Amino acid sequence: MKLLRIPFLPLKLILESFEDYELYFLGFCSKRSSRIVQEIRKNAWRVLINVTRHTGRCLQLQNMNGKTIGMMLWTSYDTKDTLDLLPIDSENQSINYSYNGIDIECRISMHPTKGIPVIWCDNKHKNILPLAIHHSICQVFNLIDTIQIYVEFRELSDFPEINRVDNLREYGFFVDKAEDYEDFFEKVEITNYLQVSYPYKILNYYLRNTWDGCFWLTMNHLMNFNGKTVVNKRTRGINSYGVIDFLNNWMKGGNPNLEMMLIVETLSSNAFDASIIQKNFNFKPWDPKKRGSRFTYTALYPHASKTDILDCTNAMDLERKTDNKLATVKIEKESFIFFVWNDPFPNSVLNESDVRLGKDPRTGEEFHYYSYGKNQF
């Protein structure tokens, strides 16, 4: 390949002008070209499979800052909504993939308006192809092979043929029957993160909900939750007595994987009464010998607060006898915050708060608020 004979510095200037899909196809050619692409595209982080009507069947490259860029589309020769995108000369543009021992012969064309490649395959491979491309992109850019999927449940016919997904975000278009949701989650295991917009019976995953009006979430859902982190805003089904039930359940060994739970901005102005909750437990004040003063924010999505939620110097602690785990409880009128100290003394660099300046759009009045985390999915 004559391009690679160019000295690295001028080659770097040339390749920095390439689109991501052009870098991918270059890196696809050989291990040497792949190493050069990795040197050029250091801020690439993860690959996202998008199965939504707005975006289409699209593979997106996610940068370190969380921003995603469409790399290529995939489809089959028999898919009705893309038949007019297959030009005659695409037969001369081919690429082959292999996934789990299955060889997939594909054709390539360019989308006329989106300006990215369209990868075509036989209909029998259309649900395997996105996984094959995903794996290939991860190899070319040297990325962790995390399976992340955006999906609308009305587009499930295009869902990749896989039974284990790391991160899944579902967009709020309801299916006709609740059983359809259950059938999906019986087949597909979500191992790390799930964002949903409907009250599934199956909420044993890493869950975040921030839509206004998530009033359907109850403490029963949360007591059956087997994931790591919950962030929920604007619920109306959780109160002081629900918190008591939750804490009793946790003290008995429930929620074994839980790291952090934020129930904030409830629709009731006096949802939580600290005095009622405190009567039921043997809370202890902060002991600097047992844990640090600040918790580490672990959710995959950013969160903003008027108060510094990570400051635990004045919070109450509970110790679980079954495994000696220590948890911190913070209660305000409209929020219940629960931290489990798997690492009693976390890295102080990771748990600092970012104080920002905001402005009320109605009054124009400026105010300070605390910001945590970044958009990772």
What pTM value is reported for the model? Answer: 0.75
Structure tokens at 181: 């949701």
| Predicted confidence pLDDT, tens digits, the chain (377 residues) | 677 788 888 888 999 999 999 999 999 999 999 999 999 999 999 999 999 888 889 999 999 887 899 999 999 998 877 777 776 565 668 999 999 999 999 999 999 899 999 999 999 999 999 999 999 999 999 999 999 999 887 778 899 999 999 888 877 655 555 566 667 877 888 777 777 655 444 444 445 544 444 566 778 878 888 778 888 876 777 889 999 999 999 999 999 989 999 988 665 666 899 999 999 999 999 999 999 999 999 887 788 888 899 999 999 999 999 999 999 999 987 889 999 999 999 987 667 778 888 888 888 888 888 888 877 77
Q: Give 188-235 as a 3 state SS string.
A: CEEEEEEECCCCCCCCCCCEEECCCCCCCCEHHHHHCCCCCEEEEECC
Q: DSSP state, 31?
A: H
CA–CA distance, 274 with 331 (Å, rounded to integer)? 6
Domain locations in the chain?
A: 43-164, 209-372
Pure H helices in the chain = 8-15, 20-29, 31-40, 129-141, 178-187, 219-223, 240-251, 274-278
